[in-house]
Amino acid sequence: MAGNKPRASSFSRNFSAASNTISQIPGLKHGPNGTMFLSSGIPDLDKILGGGFTLGSLVMVMEDPEAPHHMLLIRNFMAQGLVHKQPLLYASPAKDPRGFLGTLPSPMFSKDEKSRDRDVEQEKGLRIAWQYKKYFGEQNSEFQRDGKSEYCNDFDLRKPLERHFYSGQQIDCISLQDSADLTTFQDRCSSFLSQTSRNDRNITCAGRIAIQSLGAPQCDFSDKECDMLSFIRSLKSTIRSSNAVAVITFPPSLVSPAFSKRLQHLADTLVSVKAIPDEDKELAKLLTGYQDMVGLLSVHKVARINTQVPTILEATTFSMKLQKRRSLILECLNQAPVDGSTGSSYASSSSCSGSSKTGSLDF
């Protein structure tokens, strides 16, 4: 599973007592370069992105018109926000977006399930005397299983979120279908974000905005691409100065290529989902675990705030699987074992010591 190890520099941030309260706020944790993370709701995605979604960033998800996988991402994102009692704003082109709240998944608590036992096995039985082990202490604290609230929950997609998570929560649902333009929605977003702005030193909570299918054909403003672009730009600038994360999904096949490219450049974190064909014998031969896969997820860009150093991932495409049919896991694509005796399989394989060039020179 490709993880993204945090860049360990020789400088470390001196966390004063005041900011230690942040680590006590459930759902937030410190990231590199003075940023803070909140969880996406999918543990594997958090690991891939290096901790989660950076506060103040704009996450764009490119949909595939043939598969509803972007809904999984949005559902987990919203459910995580409700579990951590973070205010939520949800907008969709449906007439009654409140109904969508009934489909959010329920968190699985670790006492019910041994969900992540594969990581625990790693260090069993090995004692390595290694001077750098102290730098990795932070990572292990993520997996607290002693009943304290976890940074990121595993969600059971088959069980709906219980009622008590909704009560007393600030959840705004907005329907985009009937509005002729985006100005009212923009005002709603600004007022939502002003609650979580970064002006005061102590943050009390982080906010989440989830916009589903911006640019869907049902909305009247979908042809007005300039308006949508200026809305996204103003949203991005407002978000940058507030403690919130916005996740926006849009269908790139339904908008013009120029608009789609602009949206991709505007995003801080860019992810796309793709459908896979059913009963495809070629894919079944090429990939292990094809039977369990429901789709593919690619990470194109990872947020880079307060730093000039880009994040380069080991792998960018992951398969989406449902573990035991209820929780979403992301795995690196694994090639099926090839028959080694021929030897020619290496010539035809796509990777050669990590690079993706299939040249005539094969080592």
Partner 1 sequence: MPELSKNAPPPPPESSHPPPRLPNWPLENSPPPPSSKLSGLLNELLYIGISLAGTRPNMAERICRALRDGALEGEHAPALTIKDSIQSPFGSMVFDHVLSQLSSFIVAQKSQSQGIVLVAFSRGPLCYEELFESKGNDVASSNKWIRVLDCCTDPLGWRSKLMESGRIANFTLGTSTTASLYKNVKDLDKLLLAITELGKELVGDGKGRFVVAIDSVSEMLRHTSISSVAGLLSNLRSHDQVSCLFWLLHSDIHETKAIAALEYLSSTQASAVPITRPVNGQRGNSEKLPFLEQNLRGGKIHVRFKRRNGRVRLMSEEFCIEQSGIKFTPISSEAEMIAQSLVPKVQFNLQLSEKERNDRAKVVLPFEHQGKGKTIQIYDGRKSLNEDKPEMQYNSVEKVQTVKDSGRGEIIYFRDSDDEMPDSDEDPDDDLDI
Region 240-259 residues binding partner 1, contact defined as CB under 8 A:
251, 253-254
Minimum CB separation from partner 1 for residue 137, in Å? Answer: 25
CB of 10 to partner 1, least distance (A): 31
Question: Pick from 244, 202, 217, 280: which is nearest to 86 by CA?
Answer: 244
Interacting span for partner 1 (CB under 8 A) from 82-90, 102-110, 131-139, 189-197: 102-110
Residue 202 dihedral angles phi and psi, to the nearest 5°: -95, 125
b/e per residue 297-329 (b: at least 16 CB within 10 A): bebebbbbbeeeeebebeebebbbbeeeebbbb
For residue 43, what are its two tokens? 């543990």
Q: Which of residues 323-342 bind partner 1 (CB under 8 A)?
A: 325-326, 332-341
Q: How far apart are CA 235 and CA 244, in angstroms?
A: 11
Q: How far is the CB of 195 from partner 1 (least distance, A)?
A: 27
* String of DSSP letters for 239-253: HHTBTEEEEEEE-TT
Contact between residue 186 and residue 238 where contact means Cβ atoms under 8 Å apart: no
Q: Could you give phi then psi for residue 32, rounded to 5 degrees?
A: -70, 160
Number of residues forming the site for partner 1 (CB under 8 A): 77
* 296 near partner 1, judged by CB under 8 A: yes
Find the binding residues for partner 1 in span 178-237 (CB under 8 A): 212, 216-220, 222-223
- Which stretch, 7-15, 135-143, 145-153, 154-162, contacts partner 1 (CB under 8 A)? 154-162
Query: Which residue in the set 229, 292, 305, 311 belongs to the binding site for partner 1 (CB under 8 A)?
Result: 292
Could you report how far apart the first and last alpha carbons of the chain are, in Å? 25
Report residue 117 CA to chain centroid gap: 22
**Smallest distance, Å, CB 96 to partner 1?**
6
Site mask for partner 1 (CB under 8 A), range 1-40, x = bound: ----------------------------------------
- Classify 51 in phi/psi space as left (phi over 0), alpha (psi -120 to 50) or beta: left
Alpha-carbon distance 12 to 137, whole Å? 13
Question: Is residue 356 near partner 1 by the rule CB under 8 A?
Answer: yes
Q: Cβ of residue 354: shortest distance to partner 1, in angstroms?
A: 7
Collapsed DSSP state (helix, strand, coil) of residue 343: coil
Look up tokens 């929605």; give the residue.
185
Cα-only R_g, the chain: 21
Q: Which of 110, 177, 179, 195 binds partner 1 (CB under 8 A)?
A: 177
Cβ–Cβ < 8 Å for 251, 63? yes
Q: Which is nearer to partner 1, 229 or 305 (CB)?
A: 229
Binding piece for partner 1, criterion CB under 8 A, among 95-103, 130-138, 163-171, 233-241: 95-103
Shortest Å, Cβ 236 to partner 1: 25
352 binds partner 1 (CB under 8 A): yes
Question: Which residues from 114-153 bind partner 1, rule CB under 8 A?
Answer: none
Structure tokens at 97: 């977006």
Binding test (CB under 8 A) with partner 1, winner from 130, 163, 282, 360: 282
Q: Which two tokens stand for residue 290?
A: 């094809």
Q: Report in angstroms how near the CB of residue 31 gets to partner 1 at its nearest.
A: 26
Question: Closest approach of Cβ 35 to partner 1, in Å?
Answer: 28
Is residue 197 within 8 Å of 152, Cβ to Cβ? no
| 53, 77, 90, 100: residue in contact with partner 1 (rule CB under 8 A) | 100
Stretch that binds partner 1, among 17-25, 80-88, 303-311, 318-326 (CB under 8 A): 318-326
Site string (52-91) toward partner 1, x via CB under 8 A: -------------xxxxx-xx-------------------
